[in-house]
């Protein structure tokens, strides 16, 4: 190992240890050893999720900047915890840094991660740093806790359950995908209201609804006019209006992805309880449809036209350059 490698890696690790500092309970050991230690609480399940963001696939570093990249890397994991109704307790962060970048990149990434982590009481308990001749990659593993047996999964929806989304959809490429707020507070309220199934909308409403229905072995009927559409979806539609592939705001709301709102199913009898506990600071969730017996997805447009809803959205493709 060269002295330059030592100076570079040890400088970054030393900075991280100082920036992270002492971890709160129930963490027993944090950065500086071979592994972190978390003392499990009785009566709770631990929830683990991991996600990776890749330069030129998930972001363009020159356009987004390190702060928004670091923030997104943690936020997508917190969104997964929200979709289970979990409360974050900590995370691990691994950085694959381009060799031609200095330690300043790591510091900017980690400052943003630590800022968001502090906002949601999710201490950074450790991770890894490395350099290579490729682009930037950031991998985060987040850990959450939940009352034993109370996690909201994708598979519990039943015919007749109402379908909700927590906020407007579409057009995330115009900036929302880098600067969204994980719905952790709403996820916990939805869990306590006895939602039957939940998923975060990472790859598009139509595709993530298909995943929820597939796991629950049910279908869905949703209503086009009830889907909340973001202003960015309208802007994106206007940008495409003169192109070869014109689009509508509804198409963007259904298929764009990276909205990171929550899609959930709830029995009709639990609706009043959900609304009574919903925070006044958050817009009420939109009821977009119902789960059905038929294992197909349908969308009803104004004036009664009903068509099949095909799952479109972001799917990673392999073997393509």
Q: Check: pTM over 0.85? Answer yes or no.
A: yes
**Top CATH class, 162-308:** alpha beta
> What are the tens digits of pLDDT across the range 238-254?
987 766 567 899 999 99
| Other CB atoms within 10 A of residue 307 CB | 10
Selection from 76, 84, 83 nearest residue 93 by Cα? 76
pLDDT at 257: 93
Q: How confident is the model at residue 321 (pLDDT cuts 50, 70, 90)?
A: very low
Non-local (6+) Cβ contacts of 146 within 8 A are 44, 45, 47, 84, 85, 86, 87, 191
Q: How confident is the model at residue 2 (pLDDT cuts 50, 70, 90)?
A: very low
Q: How confident is the model at residue 6 (pLDDT cuts 50, 70, 90)?
A: very low
> What are the tens digits of pLDDT across the range 217-243?
999 999 999 999 999 999 999 987 766
> What are the tens digits of pLDDT across the range 277-304?
999 999 999 999 999 999 999 999 999 9
Q: Mean pLDDT score of the chain, rounded to an integer? A: 91
- Residue 141, pLDDT > 80, answer yes
CA atoms of 68 and 7, how far apart (whole Å): 27
Query: 13: which 2 tokens?
Result: 């690790």
Q: How confident is the model at residue 139 (pLDDT cuts 50, 70, 90)?
A: very high
* Secondary structure (H, E, C), 27-77: EEECECECCCEECCCCCEEEEEEEEEEEECCCECHHHHCHHHHHHHHHHHH
- Tell me the H-state helices in 85-140: 103-119
CATH 3.90.650.10 residue window(s) in the chain: 162-308
Tallying the residues shown for the chain, one arrives at 321
pLDDT at 240: 76
Q: Under CATH, which number does the domain 3-147 receive?
A: 3.30.1330.10
CATH 3.30.1330.10 residue window(s) in the chain: 3-147
């Amino acid at each position: 190992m060269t002295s330059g490698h030592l100076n570079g890696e040890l400088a970054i690790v030393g900075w991280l240890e100082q920036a992270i500092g002492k971890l709160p309970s129930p963490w027993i050991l944090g950065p500086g050893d071979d592994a972190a230690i978390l003392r499990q609480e009785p009566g709770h399940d631990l929830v683990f999720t991991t996600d990776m963001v890749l330069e030129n696939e998930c972001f363009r570093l020159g356009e987004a900047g390190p702060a928004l990249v670091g923030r997104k890397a943690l936020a997508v994991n917190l969104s997964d915890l929200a979709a289970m109704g979990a409360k974050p307790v900590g995370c691990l962060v691994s950085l694959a840094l381009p060799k031609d970048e200095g330690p300043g990149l790591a510091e900017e990434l980690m400052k943003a991660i630590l800022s968001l982590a502090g906002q949601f009481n999710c201490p950074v308990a450790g991770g890894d740093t490395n350099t290579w001749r490729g682009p930037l990659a950031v991998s985060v593993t987040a850990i959450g806790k939940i009352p034993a047996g109370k996690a909201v999964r994708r598979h519990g929806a039943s015919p007749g359950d109402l379908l909700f989304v927590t906020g407007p959809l579409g057009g995330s490429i115009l900036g929302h995908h880098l600067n969204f707020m994980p719905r952790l507070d709403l996820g916990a309220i939805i869990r306590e209201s006895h939602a039957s199934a939940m998923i975060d909308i990472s790859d598009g409403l139509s595709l993530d609804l298909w995943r929820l229905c597939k796991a629950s072995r049910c279908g869905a009927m949703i209503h086009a006019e009830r889907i909340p559409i973001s202003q960015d979806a309208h802007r994106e539609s206007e940008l495409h209006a003169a192109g070869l592939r014109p689009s509508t705001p509804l198409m963007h709301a259904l298929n764009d992805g990276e909205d990171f709102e929550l899609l959930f199913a709830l029995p009709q009898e639990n609706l009043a309880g959900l609304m009574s506990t919903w925070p006044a600071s958050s817009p009420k969730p939109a009821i977009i449809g119902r789960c059905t017996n038929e294992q197909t997805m349908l969308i009803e447009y104004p004036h009664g036209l009903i068509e099949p809803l095909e799952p479109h959205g972001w799917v990673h493709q392999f073997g393509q350059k």
